[in-house]
Amino acid sequence: MIPIKVDSSWRGHADCKNCAIRGSVLFGHLTEDDLKLIHAPIDDLEYSAGSVLFHQQDAAKHIFTIKRGLVKVTRLLPDGTERIVRILRAGDVAGLEATVGDTYDNGAYALRQVSVCRIPIGVLRKLAAHSPRLHSSLMQKWANQVRESDNWIAELTHGPSRQRVARLILKLADTEEPSLATLFGREEMAMMLGLTVETVSRAIAAMTREGIIHRLDLHGRRYRLERDALDDVAVPA
């Protein structure tokens, strides 16, 4: 089902004080004294596209702050099929459930090259005991996850295929350059939208023909978007 690749590389212990995205992550508000409390190591890891952060049901020993890249969160159904339920981006946290339970509720896999800080749950607990601000950061992360899941349900699981594909493309648009988007393999897009590979492919092909999106590479991953036209497809008046 899942290609099991555990393909991470260790890039050293994290240097929280000088973290590039310190403002948006869990430890952003901690003081130097707080950080000194950390004894167990926080590791700075790289995962290549397709590799595993953790599987559903694994013992939950770490939470992962995502510094770069995209992570898919999947859920395994009793009948063995797998569904993508959310995507995490830089600033999000994977495996938050480690703070309240002892196994992961779902699997997390790198969709592209990903950089994370892997924080042992013990460290988190220790720091949490001292820092109310960390508490509110955690709450904030939880709230984001719920909002994302709810959006996902509302936007990507209902409606005609064209519309769903359009909405997914918009969701994947670059944050800095909103008229560019990097898609995934058709198979994965299909799993996100509850459609088949062929239907996704046809929708993209049709929109390309109609000039709503423009293919920029040979693999069909990178596109330039005609925002106005695409918005119209995504949210029909």
Partner DNA sequence: CGCGGCCTTGATCGCACTCAATTCTAGTGG
Partner DNA sequence: CCACTAGAATTGAGTGCGATCAAGGCCGCG
Distance between CA atoms of 17 and 187, rounded to whole angstroms?
40
| Nearest approach, Cβ of residue 94 and DNA (Å) | 23
Report the site for DNA in 200-229 (rule: CB under 7 A): 201-202, 204-205, 208, 215, 218-221
Q: Does 151 bind a copy of itself (CB under 8 A)?
A: yes
Distance between CA atoms of 54 and 132, rounded to whole angstroms?
28
Q: Does 80 bind DNA (CB under 7 A)?
A: no
Q: Is 192 within 8 Å of 86 (Cβ atoms)?
A: no
DSSP string, 60-87: --EEEEEEES-EEEEEE-TTS-EEEEEE
Amino acid at 130: H
| Nearest approach, Cβ of residue 192 and DNA (Å) | 12
Task: Please give the radius of gyration of the chain, using alpha carbons only, rounded to the nearest integer.
Answer: 19
Q: Does 162 bind DNA (CB under 7 A)?
A: yes
| Nearest approach, Cβ of residue 108 and a copy of itself (Å) | 12
| Nearest approach, Cβ of residue 81 and a copy of itself (Å) | 8
Q: Does 100 bind a copy of itself (CB under 8 A)?
A: yes
Q: Does 7 bind DNA (CB under 7 A)?
A: no
Among 9, 31, 57, 140, binds a copy of itself (CB under 8 A): 140
**3-state per-residue secondary structure call for 169-224:** HHHCECCCCCCEEECCCHHHHHHHHCCCHHHHHHHHHHHHHCCCEEECCCCCCEEE
Dihedrals phi, psi of 174, to nearest 5 degrees: -60, 145
Judged by beta carbon distances under 5 to 8 A according to partner kind, the member of DNA, a copy of itself, none in contact with residue 6 is none
Judged by beta carbon distances under 5 to 8 A according to partner kind, the member of DNA, a copy of itself, none in contact with residue 185 is DNA
Q: CA neighbours within 13 Å on the CB side: how many for 103? A: 7
Q: Does 160 bind DNA (CB under 7 A)?
A: yes
| Nearest approach, Cβ of residue 191 and DNA (Å) | 11
Q: Does 112 bind DNA (CB under 7 A)?
A: no
Sheet containing 62-68: order of strands: 8-13, 43-47, 114-120, 62-68, 93-94
Provide the binding-site residues for a copy of itself, judged by CB under 8 A: 73, 75, 77-79, 83, 85-86, 96-97, 99-101, 105-106, 128-129, 132, 135-136, 138-140, 142-143, 145-147, 149-155, 157-158, 194, 235-237
Provide the binding-site residues for DNA, judged by CB under 7 A: 160-162, 185-187, 194-199, 201-202, 204-205, 208, 215, 218-221
